[in-house]
Amino acid sequence: MTHSSKSSVSELGNNQRSMRLSEAKPGDLVKIKGFEGGCDDFKCRLESLGIRIGDIVEVKSKAFLGPIEIKNDDVDLALCRGQAEKIIVKPIKLRA
């Protein structure tokens, strides 16, 4: 992941609170901390897409009340908002 403007990215300390992936904004880097609710099928589905606890993903775009596009390694994925609301993340870098 490359960022063209280092001055527009702020690094966060360890005291940053957890949030839902659906709350992250385009350009944010977040670390997957866990999955809330959902059944084992949901967790298996995420794992089959390559989304695992500990992964650092970049939020690429968000549609109003629509899907959230993320980048995990070199793979772009679109998650529906309901799925993104069940993924708990910790911000690593936020776009200013």
Domains of the chain, by residue range, sit at 11-95
pLDDT at 4: 36
pLDDT at 11: 43
Q: pLDDT tens for residues 23-75?
A: 999 999 999 999 987 678 888 888 888 899 999 999 999 988 889 999 999 99
The answer on pLDDT for 82 being more than 80 is yes
Beta-bridged to residue 34, according to DSSP, are 88
Q: The domain 11-95 is classified under which CATH number: 1.20.120.430, 2.30.30.90, 2.40.110.10, 2.40.50.140?
A: 2.30.30.90
CB 16 within 8 A of CB 89: no
pLDDT at 65: 85
Considering only CA atoms, which of 23, 44, 16, 26 is closest in space to residue 88?
A: 23
- Compute the average pLDDT of residues 82-91: 94
Q: What angle do CA 12, 14, 16 make, to 5 degrees?
A: 65
Is the Cα dihedral 85, 86, 87, 89 positive or negative? positive
- Compute the average pLDDT of residues 1-30: 67
